[in-house]
Amino acid sequence: MATITSSSGISSTLGTYSGIGSDQIDKLIEAESVGKLRAQSRISSVESQKTAYSDVRSRLSNLLSKLKDLTNSETFASKKETSSNEAIATISGGTSSIAGTYDLQVSQLATNTRLVGAKIADNAKIAMNATGTLNLISSKVDSEGNNLTFDISISDTDTLSDIANKINKKSTDSGISAVVMDGRLVLSNTETGEKSIAVGDNAVSQALGLSTSATNNAAQLTLGKNAFFSVNGVKMSSQSNNVSDLVDGVTLTLKQTTAENTTVHLELTDDVDKTVSAVQSFVDQYNSTYSLIDDSLDVGTPKVSTDTSSSTNKQGALVGDSLMMRLQTQLRSYGSANPADSTLKVNQIGISIDRNGVMTLDQSKLKKALTDNPNAVKEFFNGPDQNDSTASSTSNSTTTPSGYAGNMLQLLNGYLEDSVSSSGQTIKGLLKSRTESFDSLIKDLNKQIERFDDYLTTKRTYYVNMFTKLDAAMMQAEEQMKYFTAQSGNNN
């Protein structure tokens, strides 16, 4: 009786009499493996769908980011700042600043008040042998209008450098800083303008050369000056060269004085290019997202019998997926919808969607709208100003975004983000929920495959045992036949 071993590892004496060996058993098992193959094929299909959902989710997240840019007021309120001579002065403004032009003349810059002490040492590292308290009188005042006083403890081992460091440790509070120059202490007010510096007149201040009443080598006090300048012919003064409180919403930075009859031209204009760039980025990401969804839903082009080409019908991974079809429809609907409470329409902004779902932006239309009424463009995308009384008339107006971008933002949040119902129940984002259902299905299919494997192993063992017994029976029958034949011959 022959012994054979199949590719599956089965080894027995099979097939010599019955003709059914390991290969035949493998074919029988293969015929019963249809359910397992279907489960494996289903897993492959579900994993493709899961991957497609992951890709769509990534594109939607990017689109969500672009929409958030369009709901940011800075996207529509940033300013371009220009100066005809940045070496003399510059201009800056915030989102609430009003665009404007300014002609500036600077006759005097603001300076710091300084107290230059007498020269008392040739080396800043030599101990001054002064002991006591140095009293610094600041230009800062307390709640009653009295100048603040700061006491600096001086020991006989302190050098000029040590003393300067002690003063500077309190400069944030005192507004007085110190440096050592040519063997003397120089005190300065940390702020510019007509602000005072004073030192208590005692033995320590005299020893350190900071007494203004000393007979010889008295300290020299130079009062700071205010800046004097004119803006559009209006004369102004400021204690600082960074002027932020005289021209509403504008900060002027003065660097040099202007020559007589010379003017620096400053401009603060709306940054239209930043807004256009933000809208164009949204349009590009919208098209990228829509195209990916469209490809995933593509039913392909079935190959007809007369087609002699080698092409095959390639379908998208999500053909017939109702949730993805719904998302695609909503994207197109929201992308072409005119928002409520807006005086502008989608076509006036320059946004359009063709029959294939491709969105385009006419930048010239958008720039014209921004030039004509930038606030109306902002409200188109971001809804009315939440501080406006009409916008606050409903309870949801201060918490729910509106406008073109705000509406689409809410749509995408429903697909991407979890939410909490009024009853406190967590509602999972639609894409997240569908992805979790894919994971659950794959897990169930793998369990089915495990059960199929157990069944097929049992079935293979059954077939081997059955046909081994059949061979044994047939062998025994053949041997008995030979015996009877031999006995019959002997009798003859």
Lowest mean pLDDT among 240-244, 292-296, 476-480: 476-480
Instruction: Specify if 52 maps to a domain.
Output: no
Look at residues 387, 417, 447 and tell me which one is the last residue of a structural domain. 417
Kindly report, residue by residue over 460-485, the tens digit of the pLDDT: 777 777 777 777 777 777 777 777 77
Query: How high is the pLDDT of residue 308?
Result: 55
Do strands 264-270 and 250-254 pair parallel, antiparallel, or not at all (unpaired)? Answer: unpaired
Residue 364 and residue 451 in one domain: no
How many Cβ atoms sit within 10 Å of the Cβ of residue 22?
Answer: 22
Residue 84 and residue 162 in one domain: no
Question: Which CATH number does the domain housing residue 169 bear?
Answer: 2.60.40
Read off the pLDDT band of 112 (50, 70, 90).
very high
Q: pLDDT at residue 217 above 90? A: no
* Helices and strands of the chain, counted as H and E runs: 13, 21
Residue 102 and residue 245 in one domain: yes
Instruction: Specify if 292 maps to a domain.
Output: yes
Lowest mean pLDDT among 269-283, 288-302, 324-338: 288-302
Q: What residues does 106 pair with on adjacent strands?
A: 229
Cβ atoms of 224 and 195 closer than 8 Å: yes
Lowest mean pLDDT among 190-204, 215-229, 285-299, 459-473: 459-473
- The kind and range of the H/E element at 204 are helix 203-207
Q: What tokens were used for 20?
A: 């059914």
Instruction: Specify if 423 maps to a domain.
Output: no
Look at residues 190, 206, 225 and tell me which one is the last residue of a structural domain. 225
Query: How high is the pLDDT of residue 122?
Result: 87
Kindly report, residue by residue over 11-62, the tens digit of the pLDDT: 445 666 666 767 777 777 777 777 777 877 787 778 888 888 889 999 999 9
Phi, psi values for residue 184, rounded to 5°: -140, 155
Q: What tokens were used for 72?
A: 């940011």
Amino acid at 347: N
Kindly report, residue by residue over 351-362, the tens digit of the pLDDT: 999 999 999 999
Residues 214 and 4: their CA atoms lie apart, in Å, by 120
Residue 103 and residue 122 in one domain: no
Residue 206 and residue 163 in one domain: yes
Phi, psi values for residue 375, rounded to 5°: -70, -35
Query: How high is the pLDDT of residue 219?
Result: 92
- The kind and range of the H/E element at 231 are strand 227-231
Residues 484 and 342: their CA atoms lie apart, in Å, by 108
Instruction: Specify if 51 maps to a domain.
Output: no
Kindly report, residue by residue over 382-414, the tens digit of the pLDDT: 888 655 434 433 434 445 668 999 999 999 998
Residue 183 and residue 328 in one domain: no
Cβ atoms of 99 and 268 closer than 8 Å: yes
The domain in which residue 198 lies consists of: 112-225
Residues 370 and 366: their CA atoms lie apart, in Å, by 6
> What share of the chain has pLDDT > 70, as a percent?
88
Instruction: Specify if 393 maps to a domain.
Output: yes
Phi, psi values for residue 387, rounded to 5°: -85, -10
Tell me how far CA of residue 108 lies from CA of 223, 228, 246, in angstroms: 14, 5, 16
Average pLDDT, integer, range 161-165: 95
Residue 350 and residue 444 in one domain: no
Query: How high is the pLDDT of residue 392?
Result: 38
Using a 10 angstrom Cβ sphere, with 0-12 exposed, 13-18 middle and 19 or more buried, the burial of residue 320 is exposed
Average pLDDT, integer, range 237-261: 93
Residues 56 and 54: their CA atoms lie apart, in Å, by 5
Instruction: Specify if 239 maps to a domain.
Output: yes
Average pLDDT, integer, range 127-149: 93
How many Cβ atoms sit within 10 Å of the Cβ of residue 232?
Answer: 13
Question: Any idea of the CA torsion for 178, 182, 184, 190, to the nearest 10 degrees?
Answer: -20
> What share of the chain has pLDDT > 90, as a percent?
53
Residue 283 and residue 364 in one domain: yes
Residue where the block lists tokens 């095959």: 312
Residue 168 and residue 294 in one domain: no
Cβ atoms of 15 and 471 closer than 8 Å: yes
Instruction: Specify if 87 maps to a domain.
Output: yes
- The number of distinct structural domains making up the chain is 4
Query: How high is the pLDDT of residue 395?
Result: 39
Residue 105 and residue 117 in one domain: no
For residue 481, how far is the Cα from the chain centroid? 89
Instruction: Specify if 137 maps to a domain.
Output: yes
Query: How high is the pLDDT of residue 18?
Result: 63
Read off the pLDDT band of 266 (50, 70, 90).
very high
Cβ atoms of 164 and 179 closer than 8 Å: yes
Query: How high is the pLDDT of residue 312?
Result: 59
Residue 159 and residue 17 in one domain: no
Query: How high is the pLDDT of residue 9?
Result: 46
The model carries a pTM of 0.65
Average pLDDT, the chain: 85
Long-range CB contact pairs, 380-388, < 8 A, 24+: 380/339, 380/342, 380/343, 380/344, 380/349, 380/404, 381/70, 381/71, 381/76, 381/279, 381/405, 381/406, 382/70, 382/71, 382/72, 382/73, 382/76, 382/406, 383/339, 383/341, 383/342, 384/341
Query: How high is the pLDDT of residue 5?
Result: 46
Look at residues 393, 417, 441 and tell me which one is the last residue of a structural domain. 417
Beta strand spans in 289-372 (E): 351-353, 359-361
Residue 457 and residue 370 in one domain: no
